[in-house]
Structure 1
């Protein structure tokens, strides 16, 4: 009942229109999605704890910036998870990756601290992970990787401060679930990689075999 009321008020205050062209009845129309030009090239990015990173777009595009902003912050348009996930799925289709390539993986979303989760009402990474895990037909696990304490907002920090901010911020519970497992670690955006890398480090140190990152957008692909 509470969710229905929230949805009603959101539709009333913010009618569903395309964030790119204001076309009604959709948050991202086909024309605007085409303008985004999802990458058809896999630019491999490897760190010490991440075996690879897949991303659909560069974050510098104004429309994708706006979509992620509306998704993560007020008015918290939870339904944007579907079109944002579709961009990732489109990327995998363009580079000819399918469920057979990840059949031995499990999906894990980057977690939120409990107070941030209550404030937003949902974990944006988990909402995206639901669609990605469904596409690849793999399990979604949300009770292993947790964020154990509050951190500063990463966008307000730069460089080394980002790494220090999230250092030891995560931990794994139910470690037996991920022992010797291959993991798709899913989030909305990769800025400097501090959060994704720290999550991957935590997972690997807790027994995971391989961790591959998947995000909607990246700031500076290398």
Structure 2
């Protein structure tokens, strides 16, 4: 009864578009937004995780970018495509500090196969610069790490990496400018020694891979045995960024 009264006073709404949901519904998203979300499907590039749906016999074949310029990370996977419903969820969390979308994001994580990350020793979110973190109030990558790996909180190191330069947003840059923007932008926290560890690196969106490449390089240079990247969404359906 109490929950019913709360639903009447504060009707549940879709975490993405905000349309009202049926009172008592366990759904976190409306049917339209749910149907808009597309999980990435095999075949994928074994390294960067790019979909290769138009490539005959694509299973096990590297994409062109990973063939020509292998990344520092060992593998990267994304749950879903960065399309309208997911973009709205990410923007609410990232720029609005709206943690009410966590339920919808957690549901996506539950539907995903994260078995490739089961044996990771430590989970490190891509960091924000302290000034940006102060302005936003949260690091969306750290929130996602807790949602993706619920029950493994002790292995999450939110400050394993430190962003030492308050860089321009990557979305405002292209190609080589993205790489220049992140040069020497990250360093390892002195209290973290990843020697021979399998590190899971978490971020919100994989666009060109430049950010996770920069972070992975730091981790590998300090002895990490492997770096495996998991992001909520993938914005680019082509390889590159290295």
**Structure 2 length normalisation: TM-score?**
0.74
Distance in structure 1 (CA, Å) of the matches to 2:150 and 2:190: 23
* 8 A Cα contact 2:127 2:163, kept in partner: yes
* 8 A Cα contact 1:147 1:169, kept in partner: yes
Q: How does 1:102-113 map to 2 (within 5 A)?
A: 102-113=118-129
- Secondary structure of residue in 2 paired with 1:220: coil
**CA shift in 2, pair 1:130/1:197, >3 Å:** same
- Secondary structure of residue in 1 paired with 2:215: helix
Distance in structure 2 (CA, Å) of the matches to 1:16 and 1:162: 40
* 8 A Cα contact 1:39 1:91, kept in partner: no
Which residue of structure 1 aligns with residue 6 of structure 2? none
2:29 is the alignment partner of 1:29: yes
Q: How does 1:1-222 map to 2 (within 5 A)?
A: 17-18=13-14, 19-20=16-17, 22-24=19-21, 28-29=28-29, 31=31, 32-41=33-42, 43-44=44-45, 45=48, 47-59=70-82, 61-74=83-96, 76-92=97-113, 97-98=114-115, 102-134=118-150, 139-174=155-190, 176-222=192-238
Gaps of 5+ in 2: 1-9, 49-65
Structure ranking higher in helix proportion: 1
- Secondary structure of residue in 2 paired with 1:179: coil
1:20 to partner: Cα distance: 3.5
Distance in structure 2 (CA, Å) of the matches to 1:165 and 1:139: 30
1:208 to partner: Cα distance: 0.8
Distance in structure 1 (CA, Å) of the matches to 2:103 and 2:202: 14
Distance in structure 2 (CA, Å) of the matches to 1:22 and 1:42: 35
Range with bigger deviation, 195-204 or 33-42: 33-42
Gaps of 5+ in 1: 1-13
| Structure whose alpha-carbon radius of gyration is higher | 2
* 8 A Cα contact 2:29 2:104, kept in partner: no
Distance in structure 1 (CA, Å) of the matches to 2:40 and 2:199: 22
- Secondary structure of residue in 2 paired with 1:134: coil
**CA shift in 2, pair 1:139/1:71, >3 Å:** same
**Structure 1 length normalisation: TM-score?**
0.80
